[in-house]
A and B are shown apart, each in its own frame.
Chain A
Amino acid sequence: MIKSELVQRIADQNTHLYQRDIENIVSAILDEIVKALERGDRVELRGFGAFSRKARSARIGRNPRTGDAVAVEEKFVPVFKTGKELRQRLNGKA
């Protein structure tokens, strides 16, 4: 399923809304999650999962093609942990 299909499904259930509005709603939700992570906050959605970010310290990496050493700066990576309910649904429970 891609974003436009998600929008379509929600639109089918909410015929009183414009598709345009649904697109904006989906974008607003996703944007809010990213903005929270930018601030360093975590996003916890019970039954779904939690988004957070982790720091990766600076390291000396290597260009895999040439073998040259390159400095990699400290950075953050987003992580997602699947919620309990969804984890169970994936395995046919609940």
Chain B
Amino acid sequence: MAAQTVTRADLCEAVYQKIGLSRTESSKLVEAVLDEICDAVARGENVKLSSFGSFVVRDKGERIGRNPKTGVEVPIEPRRVMVFKPSNVMKARINGQSGEGESE
């Protein structure tokens, strides 16, 4: 079973099939949802989507890195990163469990 890649087009198709809006409008809404999440994270807000997971913004301090090819030390500037924490429901579903009432 070769792994496929799901893209925006597939998400739009799912919205189109389930909601019954036009394809244009479905794609516009998929975009709006992703934009809102991006905007919130860019403002430094955490985004929590229940039964899915949360996008958490973290600040990383400066540290000394090394160019792995040359071995030269280079400072890595302090920066902001986003990490995704999957919910227990998502973890369970990915492992073929129902995702309901499973606490581990």
> B-contacting residues of A (Cβ < 8 Å)?
1-3, 6, 9-10, 13-14, 17, 21-22, 24-26, 28-34, 36-49, 51, 53, 75-80, 82, 86-87, 89-91
Contacts and interface: CB of A to CB of B under 8 A. Distances in A.
Interface string B37-65: 11011100111111111010100000000
Contacts, number: 146
B52 A34 contact: yes
A14 B34 CA distance: 15
A78 B92 CA distance: 10
A64 to B, nearest CB: 14
Q: How large is the interface on B (under 10, 10 to 19, 20 to 34, 35 or more residues)?
A: 35 or more
A13 B14 contact: no
Interface of B: 1, 3-8, 10-11, 14-15, 18-19, 21, 26, 29-30, 32-34, 36-38, 40-42, 45-53, 55, 57, 79-84, 86, 90-91, 93-96
Nearest to B16: A28
